[in-house]
Amino acid sequence: MKITAAVVEERCGPFRLQELDLGPLREDEVLVRVAASGICHTDLVCRDQWIPVPLPAVLGHEGAGVVEWVGDAVTTVAQGDHVALSYDSCGVCPQCAHGRAYYCHRIFEHNFASARTDGTTALSRGGEAVHSHFFGQSSFATKAVAHERNVVKLDDSVPFEVVAPFGCGIQTGAGSVLNAMRPEPGSSIAVFGAGAVGLSAVMAARVAGCEPIVVVDPRAGRLELARELGATHVLDASQRDPADVILGITGFGVDFALEACGAPAALESAIRSLAPRGECVVVGAPPPDSTASFDVSHLFSSGRRIVGVVEGESMPAEFFPRLLELWRGGQLPVERMMRTYDFDEIEQAVHDAESGETVKPVLVMS
């Protein structure tokens, strides 16, 4: 079978649409005709080899579309079902067995090796293998090979271009608040970084009844959007020390801080902004070998905590319906930060994401 996919050939190289061959599938696999796919920061850092994904490869991990075929071992979805795609996992390790697949012991192998666990790939070009199965999907393509574990069945009324980014960015931001932090109403929160993850966290914080909701970012347009989506205070990180301003707003710091921009300086500021027993959740992906420093006495003397969170601690099959209910109710207007692009405009979409012109680009496949 022939498909069209965006292939990255080399470190920092462009996404080029090419015709590839899709080989035989297996009994535990699901073939999805991709209708839309979000572009995530993780796709770009893998393109640039911050994370050593083997190349050439087809990336993309926020796909949504229609099931075209299922293997004999698949029981939860069928041909014709509308689905969203998310991260993959092994399904059998202790974390997976306890319903915490987002901390799967083999999460790197299942999401970043860009191959099946036996090292094979379903895609090829002129007889030569092209790495795929990125996050169990490689959704920068007209068809994606997924698994039962990372496919979420949808109501047919859900727009693919809206739900696609739920697969990573939106569930990471919203889940970090609703699943990991679980703030009580009236809790204070500071969000460092007003990208798709940070803005999703802002909307979730408003749902949770947080007050105040402080957003830190150097881009005026992002801060304006953050205020429209629920932020009570916005801070230009390039003008003032955010921690000092946050302490001035709250008097003693925030109950929760989310570092969502992958900048060590932002993480240090987020930690300094914590109130006693405050918690800093780290989800931003920094450059390789990045380090941050903090005052140890500040941390332990008042019970402050730093914790890393993966995929918003979301089990997509359980969390997506909750997010979609909030979206339908107008409490999670994620489309406000999206812009759609035709698949062949992928390089423009990437440019607009990197320049900051677009918060969340979404590719629409014809």
170-310 matches 2-167+333-364 in CATH topology? no
- The CATH superfamily holding the domain 170-310 is NAD(P)-binding Rossmann-like Domain (3.40.50.720)
Query: How do beta strands 233-236 and 213-217 pair?
Result: parallel
Helices vs. strands in the chain: H and E counts, helices first: 12, 18
CA distance 210 to 231: 10
CA distance 176 to 208: 12
Residue from 25, 298, 31 nearest 142 by CA: 31
Query: How do beta strands 274-282 and 305-308 pair?
Result: parallel
Q: Give percent of the chain with pLDDT exceeding 90.
A: 95
Average pLDDT over residues 246-275: 96
Q: Are 363 and 37 a contacting pair, CB within 8 Å?
A: yes
CA distance 307 to 357: 30
Task: Quickly count: other Cβ atoms within 10 Å of residue 210's Cβ.
Answer: 27
CA distance 360 to 325: 21
CA distance 26 to 340: 33
The answer to pTM > 0.85 is yes
163: which 2 tokens? 């739900």
CA distance 330 to 93: 38
Class of the CATH domain delimited by 2-167+333-364: alpha beta
- Sheet containing strand 128-130, edge to edge, reads 57-58, 2-8, 15-22, 123-125, 128-130
Average pLDDT over residues 81-106: 97
Average pLDDT over residues 191-213: 98
pLDDT number for residue 34? 98
Residue 306 forms beta bridges with which residues?
280
Q: Where are the domains of the chain?
A: 2-167+333-364, 170-310
List the Cα angle 84/181/229 in 5-degree steps: 65
Residue 191 has pLDDT above 90, yes or no: yes
CA distance 58 to 16: 10
Each residue's pLDDT tens digit, 109-153? 999 999 999 999 999 999 999 999 999 999 999 999 999 999 999
CA distance 329 to 317: 19
Each residue's pLDDT tens digit, 275-324? 999 999 999 988 888 899 999 998 888 999 999 999 999 999 999 999 99
pLDDT number for residue 298? 87
